A and B are shown apart, each in its own frame.
Chain A
Amino acid sequence: MTDFTANHLTPDELDDWLAGSLARHREGHLHGCADCRRLADADRALAHLLGALPLFSPAAGFGDRVMARVEIRRPARRKALAAALAAGLLLPMAASVGWSLANPDTLSQLLQGLGSGVGGLGLAAVRSVGSTLLAQPWYPWVRGLLESPARLGLVFGATALAYAGGLVVFRRLMALPMPRVAHVQG
């Protein structure tokens, strides 16, 4: 004899039943269990009541009131905005190039002064990093690893794979199912 008091339909199964997709073996339980039957009938009646609720209309002129506050952007206007932005970037660049061509000596002096300062600092930084690396206990092991072409290839391959894997993971993390619109600025 089947024990209908146990293994009642879950809420998900009640949903399936409302949608007409309840598994056949669970239909058997539903037919035999008075509790589940009562619940399912109540849910169906409720879904029917909710589905039959009327739609309300806003007051007349609603569309006009909305349209009065909507800013319709025409593509030509958007293009003009993009052109203005581009001009804002390009004009200073063009002015800079023009000045450089007109004052080559001043520019050269400036670059030399900057170059010697920056170059000296850069060289000192590279030397410092290099000597720190050479002093590390694992440096001979890494050097040995890179001396064989086969091992070098293996290291490059593994690095490339790790990089590609990282890119895939990053893309998945960044992919949103929907644009976030909760607080779109009007």
Chain B
Amino acid sequence: MAKPGIDLATASDQEVVLEARAGRQAAYRELVRRYERPIFSLIYRMVRNREQAEDLSQETFVKALNAIESYRPEYKFSSWIFKIANNVSIDHLRRRELDTLSLDGSPHALTPEAIQASALQLGDRQETALEELEARELGGEIEEAIASLRPEYRSCILLRHVEGRAYEEIATMMDLPLGTVKTYIHRARGELRQALAHLRQ
């Protein structure tokens, strides 16, 4: 059991969690401080919208910290919170996909005019100044290439190569078989290699 008054800045994640479970507010803050940037970055790269990424990151931390009693210290805290962040992002993307207009028009449109009117026009998008700023911040061709991947590939490649997580850990985080994770990462690497081939040339 961690001693009360332990130095949170130098304590391990497990020790900080024990302090949080003992009701020490500073321990909760320390966990947020340690993981706010990695979690926000992962979610931002998944959803590519700052406001939504902020909301989803908050949701991740609130879920994790309110359920801190159910965290088992024999596993890495980072795996646990990344797992929650990944699930929150994937759920959000699925919901957003349902809300997105089809390129071929609304399935509820009955006449050809209504179908055309409800179809998404690719050239219609008017970027606000904020969106332009976000695009520049995320910018770079590498970010664009990551954004073009399927969400599952995106999570896996980010966890593997940006967060430096082991394959086994990613499989646990994403509730996927190890072989599937490897396949996703290999395919994602293949797609990224293709998308970025011109940079090497």
Contacts and interface: CB of A to CB of B under 8 A. Distances in A.
B36 A67 contact: no
Given A43-B193, A66-B65, A72-B25, A58 B172 contact: no
B75 A63 contact: no
A47 B160 CA distance: 9
B58 interface: yes
B11 interface: no
Contacts of B175: 182
Interface stretch (B80-88, B107-115, B117-125): B80-88
B61 interface: yes
B75 A50 contact: no
B142 interface: yes
A60 to B, nearest CB: 11
A179 B70 contact: yes
A177 interface: yes
B96 interface: no
B37 A57 contact: yes
Contact of B23 (A11, A12, A66, A75): A75
Contacts of B57: 58, 62
Contact of A63 (B33, B41, B44, B142): B33
Contacts of A12: 182
Contacts of B132: none
B157 A50 contact: yes
Contacts of A59: 54
A147 B2 CA distance: 61
Q: Which of A67, A183, A184 has the most CB of B within 10 A?
A: A184
A21 B108 CA distance: 56
A11 B190 CA distance: 10
Contacts of B196: 46, 49
B9 interface: no
A154 B127 CA distance: 80
B40 interface: yes
Name the interface size band of chain B: 35 or more
Given A184-B84, A186-B63, A66 B58 contact: yes
Given A11-B186, A51-B162, A59-B54, A184 B25 contact: no
A46 B158 CA distance: 12
Given A50-B142, A51-B164, A69 B37 contact: no
B58 A69 contact: yes
A50 B157 CA distance: 9
A46 B193 contact: yes
Contact of A62 (B44, B54, B84, B164): B54
27 contacts: A43-B193, A46-B161, A46-B189, A49-B142, A50-B142, A51-B161, A53-B162, A54-B41, A56-B37, A56-B44, A58-B37, A58-B54, A58-B57, A62-B40, A62-B58, A66-B58, A67-B28, A70-B28, A70-B66, A71-B66, A177-B172, A178-B75, A181-B64, A182-B84, A184-B63, A184-B67, A186-B62
Given A15-B182, A63-B32, 18 more contacts: A51-B161, A51-B164, A56-B137, A58-B37, A58-B53, A59-B54, A62-B32, A63-B36, A65-B58, A66-B32, A66-B58, A70-B62, A72-B20, A72-B28, A178-B75, A179-B71, A182-B84, A186-B59
Interface of B: 20-23, 25, 28-29, 32-33, 36-38, 40-41, 44, 53-54, 57-59, 61-67, 69-72, 75, 79-80, 83-84, 87, 137, 142-143, 157-158, 161-162, 164, 172, 175, 182, 186, 189, 192-193, 196-197, 200
